[in-house]
Amino acid sequence: MNIIRSVIKGCGSYLPEKILHNEELAKSVDTSDEWIVERTGIRQRHIAAEGEKTSDLAMRAAEKALLAAGLGIDDIDMIVLATATPDETFPATATAVQAGLGMYHGAAFDVQAVCSGFIYAMTVADNFIRCGQAKRIIVIGAETFSRILDWTDRATCVLFGDGAGAVILEAQEGKGDNTDRGILTTHLHSDGRHHDLLYVDGGPSSTKTVGHLRMRGREVFRHAVVNLAAVVHESLDKLGLEASDIDWIVPHQANRRIIEGTGRKLGLGTDKIIITVDRHANTSAASVPLALAAGVEDGRIKKGDLVLMEAMGGGFTWGACLARW
């Protein structure tokens, strides 16, 4: 049976110029390079320049993705942008990207699922394509988390960074089996009971301020390991595949211990996992597309590979997207 698949035509990423190393952070909060590396695997993060907005990072990543796909902006029907750090409360940051790219047709909107945002955005875009409502979509994850960190809270400020990644999805016909290229299955979950474990203590309709990120890290960690393993198994079961069929896991880059723990549960070593947390830290919705772009650019992810993307974040939200490159 012929069906429509969302094939990933190209990807791109952008990281702000400024790099903040652990040692530098240790000068302003009571922490150390040793603690951060041992507990998280993070060595450095990128920080957006003064005045550099989420849309600026997103646009650069989208331009690179278009170039990699060999497409122009006129070929695109829609922009779906995942972010928890929009330029403004409204309009959607995606519309700033749309204008910046010179796209005056179609539709652009934001998706908010914090660190799972890219998986949510891929799912939304995949559904638009499979319904026949769009042929080519730019899916972006972009964040400037440095703006919402409490730089006096050592438990959170060492963990996050800024960046953006983008992919171009294109409608192509597939046979309807696991050998097709493109997105094969997506799975989303949320559980709003866990709000207090990871949230921002501000917002337009509550405090009328932007607020700062608050997290009870140890509890989030426990949920992450369980939820991620479950959603990965759900994705594999849906397609009748085994963990050993996966060529690359491209996980959300929150903590190296979570990444390796999820891999271990699947029986997959770090030679099958794209890890960028050491260089990028946790860039929320940008972390999966940044890691994807890294894996493609250095030649590890190749055409035909089975790629599993997964993420978990505030809400809680979590999900997975299984695609053949």
| Residues catalogued as catalytic | 115, 252, 282
Binding status of residue 40 toward ligand UT7 by CB under 6 A: yes
Binding status of residue 259 toward ligand UT7 by CB under 6 A: no
CB 47 to ligand UT7: min, Å: 17
CB 178 to ligand UT7: min, Å: 30
Q: Residue 111 pairs with which residues in a beta bridge?
A: 82
CB 222 to ligand UT7: min, Å: 9
Binding status of residue 255 toward ligand UT7 by CB under 6 A: yes
- What residues numbered 153-172 form the site for ligand UT7, per CB under 6 A? 154-155, 158
- What residues numbered 112-151 form the site for ligand UT7, per CB under 6 A? 115
Question: Which residue, among 162, 163, 103, 164, has the nearest Cα to 137 in the 3D structure?
Answer: 103
Quick check: 315 and 195 in contact, CB under 8 A? yes
Query: Which residue's Cβ has the minimum distance to ligand UT7?
Result: 217
Question: Which residue, among 25, 153, 113, has the nearest Cα to 321 in the 3D structure?
Answer: 113
State which residue, 120 or 325, has the beta carbon closest to ligand UT7.
120
The region of 206-214, 240-248, 250-258, 270-278 touching ligand UT7 under the rule CB under 6 A is 250-258
- What residues numbered 192-221 form the site for ligand UT7, per CB under 6 A? 217-218, 220-221
Binding status of residue 303 toward ligand UT7 by CB under 6 A: no
Distances (CA, A) of 76 to 95, 102, 126, 135, 186: 14, 11, 14, 8, 22
Distances (CA, A) of 208 to 111, 150, 201, 203: 21, 17, 10, 5
Give the pair of three-digit tokens for residue 290.
Answer: 């940044």
Q: CA 114, CA 230: separation in Å to the nearest integer? A: 19
Q: CA 216, CA 87: separation in Å to the nearest integer? A: 26
CB 321 to ligand UT7: min, Å: 17
Binding status of residue 109 toward ligand UT7 by CB under 6 A: no
How many residues bind ligand UT7, per CB under 6 A?
20
Q: CA 100, CA 57: separation in Å to the nearest integer? A: 11
Sheet holding 248-251, edge to edge: 182-190, 317-324, 306-313, 248-251
Binding status of residue 286 toward ligand UT7 by CB under 6 A: no
- Interface residue list for ligand UT7 (CB under 6 A): 31, 35-36, 39-40, 115, 154-155, 158, 217-218, 220-221, 224, 254-255, 258, 282, 312-313
